[in-house]
Amino acid sequence: MNTCKATVRVLVAHRLYIVIYLVLIGIMMFAISGAQLFGSRDASADTYEPGRATVAVIDRDGNRGHIAETMRAYLADGNDLTELEDRSETLQQAVASHWVDLIVIIPEGYADKLLDSAVSGGSAPAVETVTSYVSGAGAMASMNVSGFLSMTRTALVGGNVSVTDEDWIAKYGESAGGQSGGSPVAGSGAQEFDWSSIVGASGASGATGDAGAHQSVTLDMLPEGRLKSLTLDDLAAAAGEVRDVAGDRKANPAIAVDHSDARADAVDTTDAAVSGFGTTMKTALYPLFLAMTVCTALVLGVFNEGETRRRLFASPQRSSVMGMQRMAALCAFALIVVVAYLAAAVALMLVAGLDLSRLSPAGVAMTTASACVYALMTVACGFLLGECDFSEVMANGFANLFGLLIMFTSGISLPLDMMPEVMLAIGRMLPGWWYCVAVDDALGIGTASAGGVDVAGWATSTGLVALFGVTFLCVGLAVGRLRRSRPVSVAPATTQLA
C-alpha cells in the first residue's frame, strides 16, 4: 500500500505532463470530434443550394418595357437585392468595400435597342455589370442576368412571329399556297394542308401517306416568318413570361438526387450517434498514449534512480512485489482515464443533440474494453522506456514521435482511401491501427460498415493490441534484468590521500 501511495505522489509531482498531454491535447481532440458531431446533427439535404449574391440594379432607362422591375423580380429568387444611389462615387465604394457582389446598370435607351435587335435578328444588347473580384456568387449572378435578357429576347421573338401565305409561297412556290386555300399555320385550312407535297418537294423519300409525311417534317422546312411592329408592351409581356416560368417550380424544378435505383449496399445507413461515438473514442488514441507513456516512464525512472533503487533493494519487501504494486497503481490510473474519456464522449454527444439510445450496450462495452486494453498497452510501453533508463527528454521525444506516427497511420487523421500503401503497411504494424479496427468491429462503422458488427474481428484486433502490450512488457523485463545483472556503483566518490 505504501508503494502505491508513493507511486501516486510521484505521479502527482509530474502533473504538468498530465495537464498538457491528457487535458489540453484531449480538449483539442474533443474539439475535432465535436465539430464532426455537430456537423452530422444537421440532416444533409440532397438538393443543391447555391450561394446568394448581393445584387444592385441601377435603372437609367426609366423602367421602359418593365425591364428593370422584372429583372429585379427574376434575380430576387436566388439573390439578395439592395438599393444603391446612382452616383459614381457610391458605386465605386460599394464594389471596393464588397458591399455588393454585382451591380447591373441598365443604360438609357436599352429597351428600344432590345426591340431593334429582335426585329433585325441581331444579338441582344448587353447591360453594364460590375462584379466584385472576390465573389464567385457575383459572377454566377451576372450569368443569370445574361440568361434573363437572352430568354426575354427569345420570348419576344417567339411570341410575336407570324407566318402568312406569302411566306409559304415564297418558300415552296404556288403549289404550297393552293393546296387548301391557306397556310398550314394560319387560316382555316391548317388541318387539311397536304404536307406530302412539301415533303416531296424537299427531296424526302420513302414516306408515303399522311403519317409518313408528318414524320419527315422538320423546322428547316418551315418558312422563317416575320415580326409585326413590336412595342414596349410586347417587351413587358415577354419579360413577365420569363419571370413567371423561372418562378414556376413545376416547370423549373430544383436539382435533386434520385436514390430510387441505388443499390442497397451502396447506401450508408450508419447511425450518426454510433459513428460519432466511435470516432470520439478513437481520438483517445493520441492523448492517452502521450500521457500514460511519459508518466509511466518518469514514475519508474524515479524509482530506478541509483540511490532510491539501492534503498529499495535493501528493504525487507521483495523488489518484484513493489514493482507489481507500482504497475498496478499506474494501470488503475490508466483505466480511470479511460472511464473519464468515456464520460466526456457521452457528454459531448448529449450536447450535440445525438440520441444515445441508438448505441448498442454490447457495442459500447466492447469499445470500452478495447480502450482499456489500449490504455494498459501504453502503460507497458512506458514501462519499457523506464526500464531502458530513458531520461525525461528522451521519453517525451519518443512518446511524441511514436504517438504522431500511430495517429497518422491509424486512419483517424486521414481517410483510409487517401492514404498511400506505404502508410497503410506501416499502420498495420502499429497498435493504433488495430485499436481503431477493434472500435469499428465493435460498432459496425468505418472499416466494418459493410459487414456490420463483427465480434470475432473485434476480439482478434483487441488481442493484437494486448499482444503489443505483452511484447513491451517482456522486452522491458528483459532489459531490466540485464541492467540489474550489471550494477553500476552508486556510492559517492571519496577523496583518497596520496
Q: Would you give per-residue pLDDT tens digits along the chain (498 residues)?
A: 577 787 788 878 878 888 888 888 888 888 887 777 776 555 444 555 667 888 889 989 888 888 889 998 888 888 888 888 888 888 888 878 888 888 899 999 888 888 888 887 777 788 888 887 777 788 888 888 888 888 888 888 877 777 776 766 666 665 554 444 444 544 434 444 455 555 555 544 444 445 444 455 565 666 666 677 788 888 888 888 888 888 777 766 666 655 555 444 443 444 778 888 888 899 888 899 998 898 888 888 777 666 665 565 556 667 677 778 888 888 999 999 999 999 998 888 888 888 888 888 999 999 999 999 999 999 999 999 988 888 888 988 999 999 899 989 988 888 888 888 999 999 899 999 999 999 999 988 888 888 888 899 999 999 999 999 999 999 988 988 887 776 555 445 454 444
At a CB cut-off of 8 Å and minimum separation 6, what does 494 contact?
none
pLDDT at res. 327 = 86
**Residue 351: Cβ within 10 Å count:** 11
Q: What local confidence, expressed as pLDDT, does residue 306 receive?
A: 61
pLDDT at res. 31: 84
Question: Parallel, antiparallel, or unpaired for β 102-106 and 54-59?
Answer: parallel
Our CA angle for 160, 162, 166, nearest 5°, is 155
Question: How crowded is residue 408: how many other Cβ atoms within 10 Å of its Cβ?
Answer: 17
- What radius of gyration, in Å, describes the C-alpha atoms of the chain? 40
Report the pLDDT value the prediction gives residue 144, as an integer from 0 to 100: 86
What is the rounded distance in angstroms from the CA atom of residue 248 to the CA atom of residue 272?
36
The pLDDT value given to residue 187: 42
**Closest of 312, 321, 298 to residue 386, by C-alpha:** 298
